[in-house]
Amino acid sequence: MTKFYEVRRRDGAARTGKLSVEENYIQTPLMLRVDTISKKKGELEVFNVENPNFDDLSSEEAWDAPRGVVLLPEVHPLFTKVKEAPMFADFFVLSFASNMLNSPRDFVRRVIDARNAIPPDVALWVPAIATAENAALMFYMGVDIIDDTNAVLKGCQGIYLMEEGEVRLNELDELPCNCRVCTSLSINALKQKNSKERASLLAKHNTLVLDKEVKKARACIRAGNLREYVEMRVRSSPFLTAVLRILDSEEEAYFERRTPVARNCIMMANTMESLKRTEVKRFASRVLERYEPPARKILLILPCSARKPYSTSPSHTRFIDAIAGYRGQIHELILTSPLGVVPRELEAVYPAAFYNIPVTGYWDAEEREWVSSCLRAYLERKMKNYDVVVAHLSGAYSEICALVAEDLGIEIAYTCEANEGTTSKEALNRLKERVAGLCDDKRRLSGFEMKMSMIKAMADFQFGPGAGRQLLGEEEEGGERLKINGKFPSFKLSSKGDVLARIVPEYGLLTLTVKGARRIEDLLSSYVVEIGDFAPKGSILAPGVVNAGEQIRVNDEVVFRGEKVFGVGRAKMSGWEMVESQKGMAVQVREVEEIE
């Protein structure tokens, strides 16, 4: 349990938080200054759990400053005891952290095992190994505190640190930095200083570079783009690139439990590692597990567009124009990297409307393999839904589609000739003729139908299969008049004047009102937060949570239920974290209703 530390925001396993020290708040991720720790004793207290005062740590008494406990090595019996017999501490200090540098795998193991062994609401301090090069990656993994020990030591060794690595001072001809040390003197003046002064100046520069990196990482976590920053940062070192690749391939579950379901920023997929992101894998699996295509005769596969949502792009406007007369019989599926396949109804969700990729026409083998596997899995599961498949694709898109079709023995009608652009007049005419030939009569897609299928698909995608149908009510019964207002994609669903749900394009989410949530209450079990006997106002804090669905992630739309109230809101931490935490905001309340 923690008293002086609180996690504020989460971006994957990374967090920002605040540590209260002598009536001040310091932000995490934090770089501690080694000299201040030793000078100002009493600010932070660090205990070694093997010392005779170990019992003190199991009681809440005499705890008036941030308290840290040294996390013993994994082989020590007390390592796993930390969670079983909670210690009252605000942070844990990873022992023998320098062992992490033995191999990328050790680096991964030490941090992930430590983070898994301690409660989610305490901070983790990895001492003495931070550099400007590895700091962002450590924060990405869930480390909250580092220090400048290594930066100072390197200074004493005549080593000049930079964000992209280190260099010996005597190898430099000028100082490639604008910090207050490097702008105050020339490199020759620095080289001519006596060794003690030179070491101190270098240490100061090294610490400033590290501190700047910590500030940058904090800004990225707040903006929700630390992953992109880490992909860029690890490039300078094979060791750190290996760490990221091991995390992506071996620690999927660790990151899945911690990654938000939506963000209000664009996801940049610029590297090979972007294909392995939790957001990408989660999207692909939800399309397969939770999405049910509308009953239409023709499956039309289209290429993606730079502008999102796709249907607002010039190319998609033309595709839609070409098939307009028959759109009521066509289901549109967009082929794209790195998301694989995006059904038209899901084009506004996160991350389908929130990603950007470099477009060159060249697809590397791994990208082809991943996108092919998504298309293959989709067709294997949903092909029974359609009578016929049409592909309006060119270049690599078309090659991927052809290979998958051959694998599965599916016949596909192609409407673009080799080397023909998908928006060329000829290709668009061919598309139009082809769908006309396949359909006996014209059937347009009404605006209402389009909006209904979008809300239905988004509800299923977010809450699980069946949620959409239940939210909209059985159309067959036809007793109820639903209304959908708003401009694409900000649709608002209402019944008899009561709003049920809204699409929030800024996050790519569907939000529910209490009335909407009531309609699908029985299907929402995975997204329920049970709270104690109180009526929340603006937010629900972690100690008020009795239980919460395992599947809940940051920014998920949740329902909360207590003895007195029923309401809807947005999750600010994962469900498991709500249960395990003693501090922090669990749910931001949107609407609450008292139970009579």
- What mask of x and - would describe binding to Zn ion in positions 123 to 162, judged by CB under 5 A? ----------------------------------------
Q: Is residue 331 at the binding interface for Zn ion, with CB under 5 A as the rule?
A: no
Name which of residues 515 to 534 contact Zn ion (CB under 5 A): none
Name the residue nearer to Zn ion (CB basis): 182 or 579: 182
Rounded CA gap, 319 and 335, in Å?
14
**Total length of the chain:** 596
The partner residues of 145 in beta bridges, in order of sequence, read: 30, 125
Question: Tokens standing for 298?
Answer: 């023709």
Q: Which of residues 434-463 bind Zn ion (CB under 5 A)?
A: none
Q: What does the buried/exposed string (b/e) look like for 183-211 if buried means 16 or more CB atoms within 10 Å of the residue's CB? A: eeeebeebeeeeeeebbebbbbbbbbbbb
* CB closer to Zn ion out of 61 and 171: 171
Nearer Cβ to Zn ion (182/589)? 182
Q: What is the DSSP string of 496-508?
A: TTEEEEEEETTTT
CB of 19 or CB of 190, closer to Zn ion: 190
Closest approach of Zn ion to the CB of residue 178, in Å: 7
- Binding to Zn ion by residue 205, rule CB under 5 A? yes
Alpha-carbon distance of 115 to 27, in angstroms, equals 19
- Comparison of 185 and 499: residue with beta carbon closer to Zn ion: 185
Query: Segment near Zn ion (CB under 5 A), from 115-123, 200-208, 286-294, 300-308?
Result: 200-208
Shortest separation between residue 376's beta carbon and Zn ion, angstroms: 52
Q: Which two tokens stand for residue 66?
A: 């941030």
Region of 289 (left: φ > 0; alpha: ψ -120 to 50; beta: rest) is alpha
Among 26-34, 182-190, 262-270, 324-332, which window interacts with Zn ion (CB under 5 A)? Answer: 182-190
- The residue from 7, 111, 124, 182 that contacts Zn ion (CB under 5 A) is 182
Q: Is 179 in the site for Zn ion (CB under 5 A)?
A: yes
Q: Tell me which residue of 481, 491, 577, 490 sits closest to 529, measured CA to CA.
A: 577
Collapsing DSSP states into helix, strand and coil, what is residue 14?
strand
Residue with tokens 């320098």: 98
- Is 205 or 432 the residue whose CB approaches Zn ion more closely? 205
Nearer to Zn ion, 156 or 177 (CB): 177
What is the spatial distance between Cα 122 and Cα 2, in angstroms, rounded to a whole number? 6
Whichever of 157 and 446 has its CB closer to Zn ion, that residue is 157
Give the strand order in the sheet containing 30-32: 30-32, 145-147, 123-125, 91-94, 67-71, 45-48
- Bridge partners (DSSP) of residue 355 are 267
Q: C-beta of 31: minimal distance to Zn ion in Å? A: 15
Place of tokens 């019964």: 477
DSSP string, 328-349: GGEEEEEEETTTEEEEGGGTTS
Residues 6+ apart with CB under 8 A from 131: 150, 151, 154, 161, 166, 210
CA 69/CA 82 separation, integer angstroms: 10
| Interaction of residue 202 with Zn ion, rule CB under 5 A | no
- Number of amino acids touching Zn ion (CB under 5 A): 4
CB of 242 to Zn ion, least distance (A): 29
- The smaller minimum CB distance to Zn ion, of residues 211 and 248, is found at 211
Q: Which of residues 47-86 bind Zn ion (CB under 5 A)?
A: none
CB-side neighbour CA atoms (13 Å) of 406: 6
By CB under 5 A, residue 204 contacts Zn ion:
no
Smallest gap from residue 181 Cβ to Zn ion (A): 5
Q: To the nearest whole angstrom, how small is the minimum distance from the Cβ of residue 316 to Zn ion?
A: 49
Contact region with Zn ion (CB under 5 A), list: 4-12, 45-53, 175-183, 312-320 = 175-183
Q: Which is nearer to Zn ion, 190 or 523 (CB)?
A: 190
Q: Report how far Cα 327 is from the mean position of its chain's Cα atoms.
A: 34
Binding piece for Zn ion, criterion CB under 5 A, among 197-205, 278-286, 367-375, 423-431: 197-205
**177 is a contact residue toward Zn ion (CB under 5 A):** yes
Please report how close the Cβ of residue 163 comes to Zn ion at its closest, in angstroms. Answer: 11
Least distance from Zn ion to the Cβ atom of residue 160, Å: 8
Closest distance of CB 208 from Zn ion, Å: 6
Take residue 426 and report the two structure tokens written for it.
Answer: 């000829």
First to last CA, the chain: 35
Q: How far is the CB of 366 from Zn ion (least distance, A)?
A: 38
Nearer to Zn ion, 209 or 335 (CB): 209
Give the count of alpha carbons within 13 A of 195, CB side only: 3
Half-sphere exposure of 71 (CA within 13 A, CB side): 28
CB of 541 to Zn ion, least distance (A): 42
Closest to Zn ion by CB, 182 or 390 = 182
Contacting residues toward Zn ion, per CB under 5 A: 177, 179, 182, 205
